[in-house]
Structure 1
Amino acid sequence: MNDWIMVKNKTNLRKCLLTGESLPRDLLIRFVVDPEGVVVPDVEGKLPGRGLWMRAEAGMIRAACAKDVFSRAARCKVRAPADLADQAELMLRRRCLDLIGLAKRAGELVGGYQQVRAHLRAEDAGVLLAARDGAVDGRAKVRALAPTAPLVDLFDGTELGRAVGRDRLVHAVVDKGRLAERICRETGRLSGLAREDRARRLAG
């Protein structure tokens, strides 16, 4: 999913603490040290303090915690919780679902299988949303109407439904625009954090 990220300002780079790579902020998670000396995620990039940037991949964040990379970067002893990657994923998941809810309230999201199919015949898609526990054949039929649009399948039907005020939602489309771009950007970051959990579900 990170391939979908459109980096408009190529000079807006930050260095990953673990790998030393200079990467666009859209591929990274910012962390800061709180007043108690604990590393906390700052997925919105708004908390005060020096930013400590890590690639948005759960395995890398866990490796950084194990190797005490955050202390070296902060130039003092700090505590990086073992579940730091999980904290970041939870915060980013909430942020993504909040954006989906915002798209619904803004009138830029259409939900429901038939409604989405009808909408795609008349409008271009900014991003398709498909519940990960939805039927594969239904997803394929929707996908065929917008084969080049980004497809997000990181949430189950209950999560998507709650985001838009329903019990359950399997198919949705967000119109092209800034909200669709933000959803693509944030779910791109989330995909790296959720990849291990997805692999565990498939293995099980």
Structure 2
Amino acid sequence: MKNTVQHKSTLCSKKRKCIATGEIREKHEMYRFVVDPENQVLPDLAAKLPGRGLWIKADRVSLQLAIEKKLFDKTTRQNLKIKEGLIIELETLQSRRLQDLIRLARKAGQAVCGYEKVKELLSKDKVALLIQAFDGSGRGKSKLSTPDKAKFIGCLSALELGEAFGRQNAIHCAVTPGGLAKRIVDEAHRLKGLRRNFGEKSPERKRQLNER
């Protein structure tokens, strides 16, 4: 009876064990993978696909370790197929997921972009999140400070942040308190773990700046 209760508690828990590091973490700090009928490892960002979940801490090093050491195979005791470029694909999907949430916040009237609009919202003390593009001007970004009780996100490029607002690019964004703000923070944390070379401008962003 005791073992049954413990097993049920584990299933209901919001924590999972990383197959790469052995760490126990909250599910929103991890990535879930499943195996399809063709033995292909698939990312399940929403954690809703059927089948056994294979959980990995949301950082590039842990995912690379799992791939290089064949930990997906060892955990399932199967010979699995891992698509070449899985990490890049996952980063792209995660970026879109974060953009979609910011877009949803914008449509709900909970997010604005542009220096003046963000500055105005900050002055009213109504900001839960300050988001700034990692490839934006450091001088411009330094003029806006994150409030004491707010969170800062800096893992999106100007092009990515702009897409969330239907613009060519955006450097500054502010999100007001609410459920969407919490979800944006969680998804940004997962994306940040995958990203490298923060502060480097993308080729497209460099082209835009050179054309000015």
TM-score interval w.r.t. the shorter chain?
0.7 to 0.9
Among 116, 119, 141, the residue aligned to 1:117: 119
1:198 aligned partner: 198
Structure 2: 5+ residue runs without aligned partners?
1-11, 202-212
RMSD of the alignment, in Å?
A: 1.8
For the residue of structure 2 that corresponds to 1:142, the secondary structure is coil
Rounded to whole Å, the distance in 2 between the matches of 1:90 and 1:49 is: 23
Rounded to whole Å, the distance in 2 between the matches of 1:78 and 1:121 is: 53
**Mapped contact 2:134–2:198 kept (Cα < 8 A):** no
What amino acid is the match of 1:66? E
Rounded to whole Å, the distance in 1 between the matches of 2:157 and 2:55 is: 29
Cα deviations across residues 31-66 of structure 1 (Å, max 9, x unaligned)?
Answer: 001111111111111111110000111121111111
How far did residue 18 of structure 1 move?
A: 1.1
How far did residue 153 of structure 1 move?
A: 1.3
2:6 aligned partner: none
Q: TM-score, normalised by structure 1?
A: 0.87
What amino acid is the match of 1:16? C
How far did residue 83 of structure 1 move?
A: 2.1
For the residue of structure 1 that corresponds to 2:99, the secondary structure is helix
Rounded to whole Å, the distance in 1 between the matches of 2:58 and 2:179 is: 22
How far did residue 27 of structure 1 move?
A: 1.3
2:180 aligned partner: 179
For the residue of structure 1 that corresponds to 2:42, the secondary structure is strand
Cα deviations across residues 153-200 of structure 1 (Å, max 9, x unaligned)?
Answer: 111222111111112211110001111110000000111111x3438x
How far did residue 147 of structure 1 move?
A: 4.2
**Mapped contact 1:62–1:84 kept (Cα < 8 A):** no
Rounded to whole Å, the distance in 2 between the matches of 1:100 and 1:190 is: 14
1:152 aligned partner: 153
2:102 aligned partner: 100
How far did residue 82 of structure 1 move?
A: 4.0
What amino acid is the match of 2:184? I
List structure 1 segments (4+ residues) > 4 angstroms apart after TM superposition: none
Structure 1: 5+ residue runs without aligned partners?
1-9
Q: Flag the 1:148–1:139 CA change in 2: closer, same or farther, 3 A.
A: farther
What amino acid is the match of 1:133? D
**Which residues in structure 2 correspond to 1:1-204 (within 5 Å)?**
11-143=13-145, 146-194=147-195, 196-198=196-198, 201=200
Rounded to whole Å, the distance in 1 between the matches of 2:126 and 2:24 is: 34
For the residue of structure 2 that corresponds to 1:143, the secondary structure is coil
**Mapped contact 2:28–2:186 kept (Cα < 8 A):** yes
Count of residue pairs brought into register by the alignment: 190
